[in-house]
Amino acid sequence: MKRLRLLPMIIMLIAGLITCIIAVVKKFDNTYALTALFVVLLTFYVVGLIARTVIRKVCFSLKTENESEANEESVITEDTTQQQGEKI
């Protein structure tokens, strides 16, 4: 869960690192490089937030589906054991 909480920041920092490397290699002007870096950091932070939300929904929906299936199976098993007890 802690890793999932850090996902937007990790994505943002990796994108920022790549942007900085490209800016240095291509020798961009400092003002342009910082503006581009700011836009990239904001954009990829939002992308990370969306990714985290999607991952949480998928993981928790699978968890709740598995739990509900397990509960249904236990109810069915209890019903069949009760019916078998009545027959005896």
Tell me if the pTM is above 0.85: no
DSSP 26: T
Confidence of residue 9 (pLDDT cuts 50, 70, 90): very high
Cα distance between residue 56 and residue 5, in whole Å: 10
Cβ count near 49 (within 10 Å): 14
Across the range 5-9, mean pLDDT stands at 90
pLDDT tens digit sequence for 26-81: 999 999 999 999 999 999 999 999 999 999 888 877 767 666 666 666 656 555 55
